[in-house]
Amino acid sequence: MSARIKAWRRIPVKRCTPTGQRMRQGTRWAAPLWCATLWAACATPLPPGGGPPDDTPPHIVESIPAAGATNVSEASLRIVFSEYINEGSLRRALSIIPEPETPPELDWRGPRVDIRLAGPLRDSTTYVFTLDTGLRDVRGVALTAPLVLAFSTGPTLNAGILAGRVVQGHDGSPAPGVDVLAYAAHDGAPPDSLPARPAYRTQTDSDGVFRFEYMTERHWFVAALEDANYNTRPDPGESFAPPPLPALLADTSRASLEIPWMLTRIDTMRADSLRVPAADPETEDDTAPEPGPLEETGEIQGIVVSGEPHPVVVETWPDTLDVQDAAPPYRATADSAGFFLLPRLPAGTYQLRAWLDRNENDQWDKGTLIPYRSPEPAYFPAEPVRVRARWETTLPDTLRIPAAVSIP
């Protein structure tokens, strides 16, 4: 027998005490519990930890069927994202055109989701799946613009395109994350009442720009809405924007309408009223502030053109004033040559707005949805204007109010 084996035999054998037996029993119970915990953690679709913070919005890596596929027969869409997605946000962000009568079934496998429709697909129909900017990854990073996937059950896809821009009505700043809804405009006329659901839905991106694709090539009534309760209806307290024109043609052109959609707000608690607030009955002379000493004021002058034979009003206000809550305190009406002068302005930085007074009622009409009344076109300079005391500030560029275009 070797020396190594003899040495091993000489090692005393330790017998378990009652305390040791209890520890061994506890270990036997802990092992299955640890395994179950590990299995549960593995079953939860979470990304691996560590690394720098992720601020990149998710994007689509692959879809089955592929975007733009034709002759599709399976009533399902598989989307593989670039990262793990917050499942609840996808349910809220998803819209499908044509809208199914039964909500789709969602089956998750990590960053992959299968969207299964309850019924068979319609023949020769373009299906459009839109994920709006409410979609977030598990870290809460949201989309900056909607994601759109479309396929057709026939040999071709709808090719209609409509694009535009939504801005805040008080200062012309971009309105991101606003729902844009399209309704059929039969015979090129706006609807007498809004249907229960829109035919198409999308959202504005971070610049307020929206874009419909894969539309039926026909005329559409397109409205913007800050849809706080997700019911695709303009309710009291929600801002909305009537379209610049009553009917817009979706065709293969990629041009965006020059006139923006301008958000306004419903002024009543009645759900069937979509009218904008009436103007303050006080006159300009009653509301205009008292001018300061002449040596402490300056002026703004410039040229504004509109292309229509109606008065053009130019308004200005200090950039510290919130014109959502107060009317601009300074205004002037351009002459027949388009020249305007805003005198005796206290030194400071000013925002400007020019609008076309089509009905010549001396107030800016932002339009209504039902019955439809178009908003009066407006122009918002991108940069504020600096006014210095005892100085004439002449705008370097002509202000051009976007002109309405004819309906094809």
Whole-number pLDDT of residue 294: 67
Low-confidence ranges of the chain (pLDDT < 70): 1-53, 266-294, 403-408
Asked, as a colleague might, if the bond just before 402 is cis with ω within 30 of 0, I would say: no
Q: How far is the C-alpha of 322 from the C-alpha of 93, rounded, in Å?
A: 32
Query: Tell me: the pLDDT tens digits for 116-131?
Result: 999 899 999 999 999 9
CA distances from 7 to 2, 4, 11, 14, 239 (A): 9, 5, 7, 16, 88
Whole-number pLDDT of residue 316: 93
Whole-number pLDDT of residue 31: 43
Least Cα distance to 264 among 151, 397, 168, 374 occurs for 168
Q: How far is the C-alpha of 169 from the C-alpha of 239, rounded, in Å?
A: 10
pTM of the prediction?
0.76
Whole-number pLDDT of residue 29: 39
SS3 (DSSP) at 47: coil
Return all residues near 170 (Cβ < 8 A) that are at least 6 apart: 323, 324
Domains and CATH numbers, the chain: 55-156 (2.60.40.1220), 158-277 (2.60.40.10), 284-400 (2.60.40.1120)
Whole-number pLDDT of residue 55: 83
Whole-number pLDDT of residue 128: 96
Q: How far is the C-alpha of 162 from the C-alpha of 213, rounded, in Å?
A: 7
Q: How far is the C-alpha of 93 from the C-alpha of 117, rounded, in Å?
A: 16
Whole-number pLDDT of residue 293: 67
